[in-house]
């Protein structure tokens, strides 16, 4: 298809009234299972059933990610000390370490270690006699109690005398961590070390890596792609559920007064929840198109995906990058969830299995969706996908990993408490199933779909979510609906949870495998499992579609429909014809070659992290502004100002 014929085809396509199909052409990120691109993280969750060669490649890639090994330009492997080793020996030496330092495990953050979490306790000292102490001049409070007596010793030191009586103080203490299980990124992987990071919160460093990984996975040259598009036809929707709350973000800002530390100029702006989108626009792709972030608690990824899908379907955007990035493993956030009774703390885990002490293997089994359980396990992750309209994907030869025809969102209505589950999820899943039935047929819905459950591992979730699945399955005549609960492997990454689920679903399409819930021995008696199929080990399953389900605090329910590459190609054949697909397959070979080159480099620990700070900065006077367009230096195509007006003109009368 020539450029001219493609132009007229697009006009006919738009006049037909059909929506553009949002197809997934790239994915990237990182979670406790590893790197998203090339399905590395997915392969880690089904490692034991993979062929031996794929197991070895997965472990070698993880060894490079975790800085246990590296591969040189001659494709030779070296261990961390630089010693030259053959691949088989390296796999044997690192396998146990990799298995024990990926997925859910004992929290390795030193803030949660054996020494405990530093804190303070309020106390009132009853001074029977005056108390005298010395301190440096700059440590003296600006506003002194009126009874304090201060004497200068020298230019640096002062002597303070406090009279007898009551004195309120904060006494430092070390509190033992009550929650020690977490889904942390693989040990040794630090995204901030891969680019020129300057006091970036962890979540934003993860965003830079994840977005770069997504671009590399696509096999497309971003600058070339951007040059063929109106700059306003690119969108970015990315955020998280609770902002950046580590010390470099709002966490450090909020602690500054009580901790005695100074707030920095970066902590306030970098803490905002939409900052992953801002970082992506400013430092990764240089986009001037539409942007934003939708926050929906644990459903945030799907909320952002819905915005991107709507923009693609309507034609407002031709390319949209969607993602979330959450790094919530901080003492304050963990304590907040623990105080709600939402987390699997150590005492609850010991009571669950009648144990006196917890071992490393007990922490690895902390998250048990749909089994006897006691709370979720917090995790961290960053996940990004690139969406294109189907015509552009065919035109560019993009790899099609799947497609997202729609995402459904509904609230719970009246609730007893803000954190209690409600009725909205019945509506979202019901709509999603109806769409798949109408697109693929009843047989495909019943026999070739599976559910990626929210599956948090709380007693309330196992009953309420399974009931949603069971009654919807009954309504559609589904007998044995496969249920995947990936949080058993990677934990609950809050707003990014559905991103973990979606990228895992893409792995299932690629490998024909569904991850098992390997942390459970049996399904709990109160789970509604009559029409559901749970399994402990990975199972072979060829699917046409997956339902990505999310149930967030406050009644934020969402269900996304993801079609497999095979089902998507069948749909594209019907929409565009076999000749168009043949031309696409020819162009795709070049894209695949570039993507494979990126995957091989990433598997060797050589990451092409894209971070362009201060490049191509424009402030306004450089623009060429006309009545119907704006030309931006550095962008090949102008921004069209011909906007849709559905309201008509007043001066026509």
The catalytic residue among 20, 101, 298, 599 is 298
The structure tokens 């035109």 sit at: 395
Q: Alpha carbon 268 to chain centroid distance?
A: 22
Q: Phi and psi at residue 156, in whole multiples of 5°?
A: -105, -30
Give the Cα separation of 143 and 140 in Å (integer). 9
Give the Cα separation of 620 and 8 in Å (integer). 35
Q: Phi and psi at residue 28, in whole multiples of 5°?
A: -160, 160
Q: Where are the alpha helices (DSSP H) in 537-635?
A: 565-576, 578-603
Give the Cα separation of 167 and 375 in Å (integer). 41
The structure tokens 């973000």 sit at: 249
The catalytic residue among 20, 492, 528, 599 is 492
Nearest to 599 by CA among 109, 216, 54, 154: 216
200 is catalytic: no
Give the Cα separation of 509 and 507 in Å (integer). 5
Q: Where are the alpha helices (DSSP H) in 260-330?
A: 267-270, 275-279, 300-314
Give the Cα separation of 73 and 96 in Å (integer). 27
Token pair, residue 44, equals 């880690």
The catalytic residue among 454, 528, 576, 599 is 454
The C-alpha angle with vertex 276 and arms to 597 and 560, in degrees rounded to 5, equals 80
Give the Cα separation of 399 and 587 in Å (integer). 10
101 is catalytic: no
Give the Cα separation of 3 and 6 in Å (integer). 5
Q: Phi and psi at residue 532, in whole multiples of 5°?
A: -110, 155
Residue 510 burial (CB count, 10 A): 16
Q: How far apart are the first and last CA of the chain?
A: 44
492 is catalytic: yes
Give the Cα separation of 467 and 460 in Å (integer). 11
Give the Cα separation of 397 and 224 in Å (integer). 13
Burial letters for 473-483: b for 16+ Cβ neighbours within 10 Å, e otherwise? beebebeebbb
Give the Cα separation of 323 and 313 in Å (integer). 18
The structure tokens 């047929």 sit at: 441
Catalytic residues: 298, 454, 492
């Amino acid at each position: 298809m020539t450029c001219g014929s493609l132009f007229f085809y697009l006009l006919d396509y738009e006049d037909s009234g059909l929506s553009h199909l949002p197809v997934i052409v790239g994915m990237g990120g990182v979670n406790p299972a590893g790197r998203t691109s090339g399905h590395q993280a997915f392969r880690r969750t089904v490692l034991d059933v993979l062929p031996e060669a794929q197991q070895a490649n997965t472990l070698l890639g993880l060894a490079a990610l975790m800085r246990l090994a590296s591969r040189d330009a001659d494709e030779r492997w070296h261990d961390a000390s630089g010693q030259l080793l053959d691949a088989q020996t390296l796999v044997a030496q690192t396998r146990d370490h990799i298995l024990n330092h990926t997925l859910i495990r004992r929290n390795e953050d030193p803030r949660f270690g054996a020494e405990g979490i530093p804190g303070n306790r309020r106390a009132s000292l009853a001074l029977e006699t005056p108390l005298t102490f010395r301190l440096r001049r700059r440590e003296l409070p600006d506003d002194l109690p009126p009874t304090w007596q201060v004497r200068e010793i020298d230019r640096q030191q002062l002597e303070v005398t406090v009279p007898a009586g009551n004195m309120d103080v904060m006494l430092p203490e070390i509190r033992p961590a009550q929650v020690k299980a977490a889904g942390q990124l693989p040990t040794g992987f630090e995204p901030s070390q891969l680019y020129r990071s300057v006091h970036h919160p962890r979540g934003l460093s993860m965003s830079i890596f994840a977005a770069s990984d997504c671009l590399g996975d696509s096999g497309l040259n971003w600058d070339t792609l951007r040059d063929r598009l109106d700059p306003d036809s690119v969108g970015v929707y990315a955020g998280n559920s609770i902002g950046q709350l580590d010390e470099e973000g709002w966490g450090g800002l909020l602690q500054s007064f009580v901790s005695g530390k100074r707030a920095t100029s970066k902590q306030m702006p970098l803490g905002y929840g939409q900052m992953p989108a801002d970082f992506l626009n400013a430092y990764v792709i240089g986009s001037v198109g539409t942007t934003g972030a939708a926050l929906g608690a644990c459903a945030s990824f799907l909320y952002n995906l819905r915005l991107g899908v709507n923009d693609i379907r309507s034609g407002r955007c031709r390319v949209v990058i969607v993602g979330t990035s959450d790094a919530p493993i901080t003492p304050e956030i963990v304590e907040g969830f623990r105080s709600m009774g939402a987390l699997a703390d150590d005492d609850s885990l010991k009571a669950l299995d009648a144990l006196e002490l917890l071992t490393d293997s007990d922490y690895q089994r902390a998250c048990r969706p749909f089994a006897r359980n006691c709370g979720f396990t917090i995790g961290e992750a960053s996940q990004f996908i690139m969406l294109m309209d189907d015509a552009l994907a065919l035109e560019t030869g993009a790899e099609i990993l799947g497609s997202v025809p729609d995402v459904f969102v509904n609230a719970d209505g009246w609730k007893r408490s803000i954190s209690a589950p409600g009725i909205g999820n019945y509506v979202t899943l019901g709509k999603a199933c109806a769409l798949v039935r109408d697109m693929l047929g009843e047989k495909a819905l019943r026999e070739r779909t599976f559910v990626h459950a929210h599956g948090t591992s709380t007693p309330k979730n196992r009953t309420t979510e399974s009931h949603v699945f069971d009654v919807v399955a009954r309504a559609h005549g589904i007998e044995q609906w496969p249920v995947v609960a990936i949080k058993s492997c990677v934990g609950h990454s809050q707003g990014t949870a559905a991103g973990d689920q979606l990228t895992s679903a893409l792995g299932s399409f690629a490998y024909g495998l569904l991850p098992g819930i390997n942390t459970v021995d049996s399904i709990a008696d109160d789970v509604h499992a009559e029409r559901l199929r749970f399994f402990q080990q990975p199972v072979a399953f060829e699917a046409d579609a997956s339902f990505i389900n999310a149930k967030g605090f406050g009644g934020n329910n969402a269900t996304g429909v993801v079609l497999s590459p095979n089902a998507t190609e069948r749909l594209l054949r019907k929409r565009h014809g076999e000749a168009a697909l043949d031309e696409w397959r020819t162009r795709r070979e070049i894209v695949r070659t570039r993507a494979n080159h990126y995957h091989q480099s990433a598997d060797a620990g050589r990451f092409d992290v894209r971070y362009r700070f201060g490049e191509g900065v424009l402030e306004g006077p450089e623009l060429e502004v006309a009545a119907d367009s704006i030309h931006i230096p550095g962008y090949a195509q102008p921004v069209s100002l011909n906007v849709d007006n559905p309201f008509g003109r007043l001066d026509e009368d």
